Amino acid sequence: MPLLEMSDVTFTYRGAPEPSLRNVTLNIEIGDVVGLAGASGAGKTTLCLTMAGLVPHSTGGDLDGTVRLGGRDTEAGHLGDYLCPVDSDRALVAMTFQDPESQVIGMSVEEDLAFGMENLGLSRDVMRERLDWVLDFVGLADLRRTFPFALSGGQKQRVAIAAALVMQPRLLILDEPTSELDPQSRAEIYDLIHQMSQRLELAVVVVDHSLEDLATTANRLLVLDRGALVCQGGPDEVLRQIPLLQQVGIRPPDVAVIGAACIEAGLVEPAVGTLSDETRLVDALRTLP
């Protein structure tokens, strides 16, 4: 059974003239790192909220089709059933929002992280253990007593990710975690996402408006345009669709444009990484006679 199953989902916000999601069908399994890309207004955040069951529970609006999370229909259930399931010390889903400051609730990093766990009904000892573990995992152990607003952009994103991770969700959704970060902090967040996928038993959905970092971190990419999934597949499959990506307002990574031209010209064979990783493209070109 897939962790998340969306079948022919169309969603319209209350009072909106047209749907924000159109006939979306997809599955996500534990172990997946799913990159979700699309131009501004394409429906990325709405899709995240739908995966998390917040659509339609928190937003209102009309949802057609079905969303099953951990085998349960999200529309039929109560939000709390899968955000904090009573029969498990793991949440089914946790999500971070684009603006990390909107999620700060405590006076210190550790207070912020404790808040969510209290809803899971964990014992004090388990909470303390998890807090130490998550602070270490995201690299914030030295900043645990810091006032969250005093942190840098990258550190605030780490706190937001830690606050989700501390719930040990099966599905972790990160909505544009790097949109306000400099290249160095971006790289660190993507490295953290890679670490999570390698070391933890979960699925991660990461939203980005560009494919550059998603293509090297995700095992599957989804491309949204005006609420519809216009393309999904492995990075090499999706990056080959240069004209489609340009048409929906996503700038394809330079390496994909050059790699696709090399494949087209018969210079290199299509192979894993040729369109997303410069080193692999250069290696492939080196083997030319």
Ligand X SMILES: Nc1ncnc2c1ncn2[C@@H]1O[C@H](COP(=O)(O)OP(=O)(O)O)[C@@H](O)[C@H]1O
Binding site for ligand X (CB under 6 A): 13, 16, 20, 38, 40-46, 59
Give least dist CB 223 to ligand X, A.
11
Q: In Å, what is the CA distance from 57 to each residue of 50, 54, 79, 80, 162?
A: 9, 5, 7, 10, 24
Q: Is 103 or 168 the residue whose CB approaches ligand X more closely? A: 103
Q: Is 33 or 224 the residue whose CB approaches ligand X more closely? A: 224
How buried is 173 (Cβ within 10 angstroms: 0-12 exposed, 13-18 middle, 19+ buried)?
Answer: buried
Q: Is 44 or 170 the residue whose CB approaches Mg ion more closely? A: 44
Q: Kindly give, in sequence order, each residue whose CB lies less than 8 Å from that of residue 241, ignoring residues fewer than 6 positions away.
A: 231
Q: Distance of alpha carbon 27 from its chain centroid, rounded?
A: 14
Give least dist CB 165 to Mg ion, A.
21
Token pair belonging to 218: 């995700």
Give least dist CB 98 to Mg ion, A.
6
Q: Which of residues 130-159 bind Mg ion (CB under 5 A)?
A: none
Give least dist CB 214 to ligand X, A.
14
276 binds, among Mg ion, ligand X, none (CB under 5 to 8 A by kind): none
Token pair belonging to 22: 């159109």
Contact 72, 81 (CB under 8 A): yes
How buried is 72 (Cβ within 10 angstroms: 0-12 exposed, 13-18 middle, 19+ buried)?
Answer: middle
Q: Is 43 or 169 the residue whose CB approaches ligand X more closely? A: 43
130 binds, among ligand X, Mg ion, none (CB under 5 to 8 A by kind): none
Ranked by CB distance to Mg ion, the top (closest) residue is: 45
Q: Which of residues 37-66 bind Mg ion (CB under 5 A)?
A: 44-45
**Pure H helices in 52-211:** 54-57, 79-83, 109-120, 124-137, 153-165, 183-199
Give least dist CB 10 to ligand X, A.
13
Q: Is 23 or 146 the residue whose CB approaches ligand X more closely? A: 23
Residues found near Mg ion in the complex (CB under 5 A): 44-45
